[in-house]
């Protein structure tokens, strides 16, 4: 193992930024040896108090108020970008020019043009450029992907996915950056990007979409009086501002394999704090997963004895991907959740940088995330054209 540390930083100290910060802190506690020591260098945020608090909590050496400081620091090797979507491109381009490896939160950018420019920077730079699709790191979803890829469900016939959340169900919620931007940048870009990636991770690429529908349930929201962190409440005034994107979206898709998928996403689904769920059916088996029960999934196939056929609950344990070597208590039934997935993602990112011989499955690339955005754009175009079929670019 190299004794030269890998120096990391995080730009953005909000909800997801803290998840990246915590993930880097734990990367050498999971899986095998070989990763160099990790130096927790800096946290950057426009809110200096937020940056200082995150640096203190997660053991980073310093807090800074501008991302430019991170880009200009030659001692920093790898950086997570966890800020508003429209800021991703200028930060990523500057970091790549500076020779730094980049892990960018999804969606890749605020526009297709920005995403294409980021892919061009990825191809021109001699660095690892990755995107944060954390649900790929769920042991249960990784196991489901294995069932599909190994042919245990027979030929696939149907995929169904939903990502219903309620973080925007309260009309008193402040008008943060999440509610700005055009069609496709709301629930579809925020939640749909994850769902689309999960669907393609399991079933292969989407080639076309149809039946696109977008709707906004809360068209105006109060303007905040200060910074808004994640989905947390914030002081607001009497002034209302217009919401510029969708609260809910639905569409159907055709995968390259020929199977059909149905999708729905919402950020105003009351009582669904983080309701990602998927079903994949084949001609001889099916699997189901619900993130509200992350330590299990269901599996059903054609058992020889018809009297006892039916869906079986599979409890997370060392038999699943990521579990063995990734959980401190490696015993069945002790499944974790979102925090562990960020650890695995950060570890995979740093493994790629360090050239570990047998790394975890690689993170998604900028080009992968551009494809996700092209699926989202096709859904928007379908909705604008009355639900017409649209090929994915």
Task: Give the residues of the chain that fall short of pLDDT 70.
Answer: 1-2
Q: If phi over 0 gives left and psi between -120 and 50 gives alpha, with beta otherwise, what is residue 270?
A: beta
Q: How high is the pLDDT of residue 328? A: 86
Judge whether 382 and 210 are in contact, CB under 8 Å.
yes
pLDDT for 2 = 59
Residue ranges of domains in the chain, CATH in brackets: 6-135 (3.40.50.720), 139-331+371-384 (3.30.360.10)
Asked if 236 contacts 223 with a C-beta cutoff of 8 angstroms, the reply is: yes
* Backbone phi, psi, residue 319, to 5°: -80, -10
pLDDT of residue 232: 77
| Per-residue pLDDT at 332 | 81
C-alpha 242/C-alpha 234 separation (Å) is 17
Give the separation between CA 145 and CA 148, rounded to whole angstroms: 5
CA dist list (Å): 312 to 210, 289, 296, 297, 298 = 33, 12, 10, 8, 5
Residue 3's pLDDT is 74
pLDDT at position 81 is: 98
In this predicted structure, what is the pLDDT of residue 324? 85
390, 382 contact by CB (below 8 A): yes
- For residues 303 and 11, what is the distance between their CA atoms, to the nearest angstrom? 51
- Confirm whether pTM is higher than 0.85: yes
Structure tokens at 223: 């303007």
- Within the chain, strands assigned E span 6-11, 38-44, 62-64, 78-81, 101-105, 129-132, 156-164, 206-215, 220-224, 236-242, 248-255, 260-266, 275-282, 285-290, 296-301, 312-315, 364-365, 390-391
């Amino acid at each position: 193992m190299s004794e030269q540390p890998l120096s990391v930083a995080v730009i953005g100290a909000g909800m997801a930024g803290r998840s990246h910060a915590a993930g880097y802190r734990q990367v050498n506690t999971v899986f095998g040896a070989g990763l160099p020591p990790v130096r927790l260098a800096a946290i950057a945020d426009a809110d200096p108090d937020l940056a200082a608090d995150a640096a203190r909590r997660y053991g980073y050496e310093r807090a800074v108020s501008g991302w430019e400081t991170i880009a200009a620091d030659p001692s920093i090797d790898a950086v997570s970008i966890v800020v508003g979507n429209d800021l991703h491109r200028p930060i990523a381009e500057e970091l790549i020019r500076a020779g730094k490896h980049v892990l960018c939160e999804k969606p890749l950018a605020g526009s297709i043009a920005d995403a294409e420019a980021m892919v061009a920077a990825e191809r021109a730079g001699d660095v690892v450029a990755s995107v944060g699709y954390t649900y790929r790191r769920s042991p249960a979803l990784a196991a489901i992907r294995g069932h599909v890829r190994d042919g245990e469900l027979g030929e696939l016939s149907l995929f169904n996915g939903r990502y219903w959340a309620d973080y925007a169900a309260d009309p008193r919620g402040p008008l943060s950056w999440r509610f700005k931007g055009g069609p496709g940048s709301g629930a579809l870009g925020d939640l749909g990007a994850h769902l689309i990636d999960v669907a393609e991770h399991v079933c292969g690429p989407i080639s076309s979409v149809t039946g696109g529908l977008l709707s906004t349930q809360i068209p105006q929201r109060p303007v905040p009086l200060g910074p808004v962190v994640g989905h947390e409440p914030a002081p607001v005034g009497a002034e209302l501002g217009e919401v510029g994107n969708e609260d809910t979206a639905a569409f159907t898709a055709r995968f390259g394999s020929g199977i059909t998928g149905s999708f729905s996403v919402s950020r105003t689904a009351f009582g669904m704090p983080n309701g990602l769920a998927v079903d994949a059916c084949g001609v001889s088996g099916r699997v189901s997963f619900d993130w509200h029960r992350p330590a299990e999934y269901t599996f059903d196939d054609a058992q020889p004895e018809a009297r006892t056929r039916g869906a079986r609950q599979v409890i997370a344990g060392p038999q699943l991907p990521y579990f063995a070597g990734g959980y401190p208590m490696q015993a069945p039934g002790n499944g974790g959740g979102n925090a562990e997935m960020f650890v695995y993602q950060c570890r995979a990112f740093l493994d790629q940088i360090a050239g570990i011989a047998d790394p975890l499955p690689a993170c998604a690339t900028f080009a992968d995330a551009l494809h996700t955005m092209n699926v989202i754009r096709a859904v928007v175009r379908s909705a604008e054209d009355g639900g017409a079929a649209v090929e994915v670019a």
